[in-house]
Amino acid sequence: MHVFRTIAEMQAAARQWHRAGQTIGLVPTMGYLHAGHLSLVALAKADCAVVVVSIFVNPTQFGPTEDLARYPRDFERDAALCREAGVDAIFAPEPAEMYAADASVWVTEEQLSQPLCGARRPGHFRGVTTVVAKLFNAVLPDVAVFGQKDAQQALVLQRLVRDLNFPVDVRIGTIHREADGLAMSSRNVYLSPDERRRAVAISRGVRAAEAAYAAGERDGAVLCAVAHNAITAAGGRPDYVELRSRHDLRELAEASEPAVLAVAAFFGATRLLDNTFLG
């Protein structure tokens, strides 16, 4: 398995693979890998001759009061997991390799990135779209795989690819969960044992909303209240629980078209995401 630290080395390898007729699949990550990330690697491996995992804790997508400095990092563990999973190369640049000190070009998406996490984390999606565009230019992938766990991010990045004509086929992998249902996340390590036990209420709430939908409930306020109540009953603090169009993230009063019920909730100081598709 190769480890590339510079954009020039990464691009040179990518060009060589392309010349050899090999398709390249990219799984962008911020590291501290878990089985959810590895499920995306498996999707990439199924379709691509060469799989690259990028590991880069991207400073530009963190707000000034967020967890950039303490975001969990363990490169040796990540590298071992990638090797076991049959990853061909890791692209792991330092921040200074990715961003010139006077960098002044940004990639912004101006519609899908407005609500939900965009409203709570100003500048977050500008950082995500910019770094993913840069990762595409470094890795030159044919396929890029993202997770539905970050449903809004996946939609924003599909729009990035469409609107800037990146020659990249975007695939979205389903949400990988712990045995009790909690969506896997690198940030789950922040939870105290007590918070970890209670945080399962997020996925339980999402499942309860799914069950209400399956039983015929279509009222957005009711569906959201079902998830909201499960979280507050466990001592969590919902940041948002919203029913939105899966197509354009418009807020929906009723689940009358393909919808996403999107949740962000705090347990202690840790903010966790979950969601489900309805319809």
- Burial level of 177, CB count in 10 A (0-12/13-18/19+)? middle
CB neighbour list of residue 81: distance below 8 Å, 6 or more residues apart? 33, 38
Catalytic hit among 18, 37, 228, 247: 37
Looking at beta carbons only, is 30 or 168 nearer to ligand PAJ?
A: 30
Whole-number minimum distance, CB 92 to ligand PAJ, in Å?
Answer: 12
For ligand PAJ, give the closer residue by CB, 40 or 155.
Answer: 40
> CB of residue 31 vs ligand PAJ: minimum separation in angstroms?
7
| Nearer to ligand PAJ (CB atom), residue 154 or residue 212 | 154
Taking the complex as a whole, the smallest distance from the CB of residue 147 to ligand PAJ amounts, in Å, to 3
Q: Name the residues that contact ligand PAJ, by CB under 6 A.
A: 28-30, 36-37, 39-40, 58, 61, 128, 131-132, 146-147, 149-150, 153, 173, 175-176, 183-186
Q: How far is CA 55 from the centre of its chain?
A: 13
Q: Which two tokens stand for residue 120?
A: 């709570």
Tell me if residue 34 is catalytic: no
- Our CB check for ligand PAJ shows the closer of 111 and 158 to be 158
Q: Which residue has the tokens 């590895």?
A: 38
Residues 6+ apart with CB under 8 A from 63: 121, 122, 123, 124
Q: Are 269 and 231 in contact (CB under 8 A)?
A: no
DSSP state, residue 183 = B
First-to-last CA distance in the chain? 41
User: Taking the complex as a whole, how short is the minimal distance between the CB of residue 216 and ligand PAJ, in angstroms?
Assistant: 29
Give residue 33's Cα distance to chain centre.
12
Catalytic positions, please?
Answer: 37
